[in-house]
Chain A
Amino acid sequence: MRLIEAKGMTVALAGQVVLRDVDFHVDPGEIVTIVGPNGSGKSTLLRTLIGALRPEAGEIRRKPDLRLGYVPQKLQIDATLPLTVGRFLSLPRRIAAAQAQAALDEAGAGTLTDRPMADLSGGQFQRVLLARALLGRPDLLLLDEPTQGLDQPGSAAFYRQIEQIRARLGCAVVMVSHELHVVMSASDRVVCLNGHVCCQGHPETVAQAAEYRALFGTGTHGALALYRHEHSHSHDHDHSHDHTDHVH
């Protein structure tokens, strides 16, 4: 049974249609990478899947009792709210200290328990968000541009970590990426979004594109792959995305 399935979904933000007639689904245990240019509705798609936005049309079906782990792109915590990392992890369900520590260790943030959230760097904050998402033992982990601000080795390390988490928890992963052409090689499926689903399919591995392997080197240990977009339609000018640097 599918974890989540959206059919004919149309979503508007402040009266502007951002997603039109989108079909999207996630099967248990698969890793789906969503790519698309800025403003293509990637974050909107995730926020609709978690229930924060209501589609104007279409339907979303969830597996009963689906457990979601959501890592937002950014989070602004008001300076007047005192919150340590440990306390943040206990929201909304209170958890034992040992459990919090285990989740932080798993996310690579083991030393941060007593630190105020306001003092964390961007990368540390991201790891804490990941730790919190893992605490709920999710069936489906949704990550919104988790590698933003990371360099390529950093992205590669993060992707390997996600692979390990999937292997251990058996959860499905939906990841939004700001990179159009370089995606996580462990992706079972890449969905290219631009207000609608443009194309989707398996990523090609770096190994098959020697010229790009030269470009990206081997320092990623195979964590990065190229994605060949197979569009069968043309775009209007206002949301065309640059095809000139595709691998063809």
Chain B
Amino acid sequence: MNCLEFRQQILVDPYTKFGPAENHLSQCERCQDFANEIKNLDANIYQALNVSVPEGLGAKVHLKQSLSEQNNPHKPQLWLALAASLMAVAVFMYQLVAPSAVQPNPTSAIVSLVNQLAEPVIAHVNHKSHDFYAVDHQPISNTDLQSVLSGLSAEIGTKISVENVLYAAICPVDGTRATHLIVKDGSDKYTVVLIPDHAPSKAFEIDDELWRGYISPHPAGAIAVLAAATDNHAVARIKEINDQYIQSFYLSAER
């Protein structure tokens, strides 16, 4: 281990204990000084972070929990009944109003269930969103987009302008190679994930704490169209956008 490697390690964890670092530390005076400086920095960080806790906080937590139990002994049952009623009304209304919006099959009503695919998709976009939503991305080049899409034998329809694609990458999702895109529509941003080798039997609504959208069957797999839950305008249009994107993205015939 050289000085650079040691210092990188000490900045990640000043109290790291492993052989190579210990050996280097015992032999390098400058790195001993550096390690002491960082340990001192950490001690001060600890003091700065260590705010005092309000007196009796634990007792307040116990009290609130007890009161909550006393005041709402039947709350779970009421909540479940209400949720079931709303679900039934929502499914009924959906079948009346838009029986073929997501899929021609009338039995494929959108339900608020998360299928097995939702979890890895959300986990992936959660992981990536730190990068995506922190900065304004510039549209990617047509060459880059085609390169990504061709990696999955996917194509993009004419309803979406290439200039509106802000990001495109092949990403591992649930053990398969998925195409991950960020598409701009006006001022809204939508995440689209095309997942081959998965065949959901019907469309599922995603109602995650951070994401809203749908995972739907697709001619050669599944397509997820998501909006950030905090983006009200994008969420309000998610149904319309989902239908539009299902038509716009497709996998080429040779797949």
Do A and B truly interact? no
